[in-house]
Each structure stands twice: as structure tokens, then as C-alpha cells.
Amino acid sequence: MLPPMARVVVPRLPDSTASVAPASGTQADPPTVVAIRLAFGVGTADSAPTPKSFKVTYHLSIPVFSLGGLDPDGVYEFDAAALFETITSRAQRRRWGVRLELELEQSPAAVSLADVFVQAPFGDDLGLTVLGQSGRGKPLPGGGRSVVVASGLVTSASEVGKLSGEYTVQLRDAEENPTVVSAVRPLRINATQFEFEG
């Protein structure tokens, strides 16, 4: 049996003050993916970075203006493994780590109606978290919200490939038999090769 995939559920905002009418029916628009980022950073001296000690040094963003990346294979691609290997081979004073970040936006009409479900292509050993102190994202002008979901840290180039695969994003108001639900938005990522490669 395959191990369960990592998942995080971002709770809705029942106290939302957005002045919008509740969505009618059971359908809602899935959250929009507004950014795909690879965060490279360091921990404390002489030790591998941990989620608590990790300090982002570089953010590399993959454009999301074209669904599924730039070439026709439907996958967002960047060789983060090669870049991570270069960084770590030249680093002198600190050990490095890298994580994947997905920035999502939820509409004002849905922010108080449903939770955001995000599933990763890897297991709970790497895991997913919601960045920020509240664990519920940040409000946007007009009543929506922005949520950044991040993978756990990878600390060797040989493990960067774990970040590759299909992520899914969906709105649901319940784990089972939801009354408000969106379509599943898939997001395929390859962290070990470049666009137009192969």
C-alpha cells in the first residue's frame, strides 16, 4: 500500500467582513494559483536548516501566466536540483535548504464558505505547512485572502526531486459530503529539469 500523500487544510474565515452575498448552489471557483516559488535559504552555523531556523536567502519564481508552463507538456519546470547543487558546492559558512511555495488566492465570495484543501505528491515525512502566524493566510482588499502553502525543507540536491509531481487545490466545506465544493485544480511541477528540455 502506498503511503498517504501530504495534505494541509486551511480553515475558512467565518468572521469574514467582506460585504458579498453567499455563493448560490454548491459550486465554487477553486483558489487561483498566483505564484510558484522555490525558496533557497540557510539555517544556523554548522547545522542543517530546520523549519524553525530556516532563513530565506533567495526566492526564485516560476511564471504562472501560462497554464502548465511555457512548453506544451503541461508541467511547470525549473531545475532546482542543479541550482541547489551549485549553491551547496560553493557555500563556505552555512548549510542550505530549499522548499517549494505555492501562493493561492481565494475569492471574497468563497472565503467564509469553504476550507482550502491542498495535497502534495510526497508524503508526510516532508509535509505541507501554511506560512504565517495565523495559519489562515492574509486578507486581501475587497474581502478575499492570500494563502502561502510550503513544502518541508529538502537539504540535499539528490532529494530535490521529491518536490516534483502533481499538487491539487480544492475548496470544500466538509471532508465528506460537502455542500460547497469546487473543481480540483491540478498543478504539475518538475523541479529537476528546465522548460523546453528534452
> What residues contact residue 98 under an 8 Å CB cut-off, 6+ apart?
38, 39, 40, 41, 80, 84, 153, 154, 160, 163
Confidence check: pLDDT of 128 > 70: yes
> What backbone torsions phi and psi does residue 93 show, to the nearest 5 degrees?
-115, -20
What is the number of helices (H) and of strands (E) in the chain? 1, 13
Is 70 a residue whose pLDDT tops 80?
A: no
Instruction: Calculate ∠ Cα 52-58-59, nearest 5°.
Output: 95
Q: How far apart are CA 164 and CA 85, in angstroms?
A: 16
What pTM was estimated for this model as a whole? 0.90
Q: What is the pLDDT of residue 23?
A: 46
Give the model confidence (pLDDT) of 96-127 as tens digits. 999 999 999 999 988 989 999 999 999 999 99
DSSP E strand stretches across 91-154? 96-106, 115-123, 128-130, 138-139, 145-151
Longest dimension (CA), the chain: 58
Using alpha carbons, select from 139, 151, 137 the residue that is nearest to residue 101: 151
> What is the domain partition of the chain in residue ranges?
5-10+27-190
Residue 147 is predicted with a pLDDT of 97
- Average pLDDT of the residues in 121-134: 94
In this prediction, residue 19 carries a pLDDT of 41
pLDDT > 90: what percent of the chain? Answer: 68
Residue 22 has pLDDT above 70, yes or no: no
